[in-house]
Amino acid sequence: MYKYHIVTYGCQMNVHESEKIAGMLVELGYHAVSSPEEADLIVFNTCCIRDTAEKRAYGNIGALKPLKKKNPDLMIAVVGCMTQQKNASNALLSKFPFVDIVLGTNSLDQLPILLQEKRQKGSLIRVNEDPTVDPSLELPIYRTSGTNAWVNIMYGCNNFCTYCIVPYVRGRERSRSLEEVVADVKQLISEGYKEITLLGQNVDSYGHDLSDGSDFATLLQRIDALPGKYRVRFMTSHPKDFDRRTVDVIASSSHICHNIHLPVQAGSNDVLKRMNRKYTVEQYLEIVDYIKSKMPDVGITSDIMIGFPGESEADFESTCDLVKKVRYSNAFTFVYSPRKGTPAATMEQISAAVKKSRITRLVQLQNDITKELSEGYIGGTYEVLIEDVNPKYPGTVCGRTDSGRLVTLTGSPDLIGSFLMVKITKARSAALFGEMIKE
């Protein structure tokens, strides 16, 4: 029996795509192994959204050369959105001639055929540049995320933020039908999944391309009406499309978590305009205020980027001011990196030293806020869905509050998948610690 090992880079979307790759491989009779040394097939599921993820993938693929030399039967496949960029697949093969298969995101379904063909032929490339095909929809899924199940509600993006490669490699927005998504969620709940995460590059524009009037708020309402004890999360939202109606639906729902990932990217109107984000700081703060007024217990998270071309010190300070106003429970902070083919790549870039200083200051600021917010949890009791053991602390398990905060408590693995009431007793930066409340 063949053994496979998948290395995943990038976002949740990619983690879920790796589950689809695994689904195909398991159907072919492969089984998963945790180290590349044991594998007959290594799949790199790449991401090109930022330079760091791309560099890491290049480094890790290169590092496999000796392994391939030792075991010529080892197959190496590179898939994912990095390969979907213009000319990237040929560049990859000329740099790493020992790679057997290069497969675009839009051709993922062809992996089994290529594996078979490859056993007879040389290196193979299959990249479909037509971004309107979604072969991954039909694929079996080998779920790896424990209590949580991912569900794609849409693919692609129409927004063309000037720094972002996603619309070029993932194509325009295509929503799945509302009935199909609801049926998937219903099925997953009946299989025992306790948390469903709806995925899309811009979930708030869900349904805009459908002619039946479906939209994101309606989808959430329909899902929330399904019976059972479960939670629903979703990502990613776009501030220009996240409307009050959606907030109202979440606030009055029984299952949709009060946890909203609302990437702001920058806190300067000038930078936002040049990023083509289509909202102002004032509009962003208005929707944040509305969210907080309807859900005082909400956890709001964000993606924030520093070092966008032309970002002045005053622009950066505006970003810090916004971070102080919103008080995110957590923020993913990024240093802008130029992506070939995007408008911002040709704008005048700012120096690495300035970027470094700004990211350090931003991370420090956000850490201080996260820490303060963590302390506010102490003494409170929250419902926590236990997701896993916490390997850092033997004898403990961990899970999330509705607002998305990670809590560790003493407990055994049989608690995984249960909802427990937990009293928070201690906080350390982003980490919360607590104890189970006996019923």
Residues lying near ligand 5AD in the complex (CB under 6 A) are found at 49-50, 163-164, 263, 265, 303, 305, 334, 336-337, 339
Instruction: Say which residues have a Cβ less than 8 Å from residue 185's Cβ, sequence separation at least 6.
Output: 151, 196, 223, 226, 232
Nearer to ligand SF4, 185 or 281 (CB): 281
Estimate the crossing angle of helix 352-377 against helix 313-326, to 10 degrees: 10
Q: Does 149 bind ligand SF4 (CB under 6 A)?
A: no
- Least CB distance from residue 314 to ligand 5AD, whole Å? 21
Give me the residue whose beta carbon is nearest to ligand 5AD. 303
Say if residue 190 is exposed, middle or buried (CB neighbours under 10 Å; 0-12, 13-18, 19+): exposed
Q: Does 164 bind ligand SF4 (CB under 6 A)?
A: yes
User: Do 273 and 281 touch, CB atoms closer than 8 A?
Assistant: no
- Least CB distance from residue 431 to ligand 5AD, whole Å? 23
Q: Which stretch binds ligand SF4 (CB under 6 A): 95-103, 139-147, 153-161, 412-420?
A: 153-161
Enter the tokens of residue 169: 């490699």
User: Do 236 and 202 touch, CB atoms closer than 8 A?
Assistant: yes
- Least CB distance from residue 20 to ligand 5AD, whole Å? 20
- Least CB distance from residue 396 to ligand 5AD, whole Å? 31
Among 121, 160, 192, 244, binds ligand SF4 (CB under 6 A): 160
Instruction: State the first-to-last Cα distance of the chain, in angstroms, to the nearest integer.
Output: 48
User: In this structure, what DSSP letter does residue 141 have?
Assistant: -
Nearer to ligand SF4, 238 or 400 (CB): 238
- Least CB distance from residue 355 to ligand SF4, whole Å? 19
Residues 237-296 that bind ligand SF4 (CB under 6 A): 238
Instruction: Say which residues have a Cβ less than 8 Å from residue 25's Cβ, sequence separation at least 6.
Output: 4, 41, 43, 111, 142
Could you count the other beta carbons within 10 Å of the beta carbon of residue 35? 9
Q: Does 201 bind ligand SF4 (CB under 6 A)?
A: yes
Nearer to ligand SF4, 133 or 169 (CB): 169
Instruction: Say which residues have a Cβ less than 8 Å from residue 361's Cβ, sequence separation at least 6.
Output: 316, 320
* Binding pattern for the stretch 229-248 against ligand SF4, x by CB under 6 A and - elsewhere: ---------x----------
User: Do 127 and 114 touch, CB atoms closer than 8 A?
Assistant: no
d(CA 138, CA 403): 33
Among 167, 267, 399, 411, binds ligand SF4 (CB under 6 A): 167
- Least CB distance from residue 288 to ligand 5AD, whole Å? 17
Nearer to ligand SF4, 167 or 399 (CB): 167
Instruction: Please tell me the number of Cα atoms within 13 Å of 326 on its side-chain side.
Output: 35
167 binds, among ligand SF4, ligand 5AD, none (CB under 5 to 8 A by kind): ligand SF4
- Least CB distance from residue 334 to ligand 5AD, whole Å? 4
Say if residue 313 is exposed, middle or buried (CB neighbours under 10 Å; 0-12, 13-18, 19+): exposed
- Least CB distance from residue 162 to ligand SF4, whole Å? 9
- The residues facing 77 across adjacent strands are 43, 101
Binding site for ligand SF4 (CB under 6 A): 157, 159-161, 164, 166-167, 201-202, 238
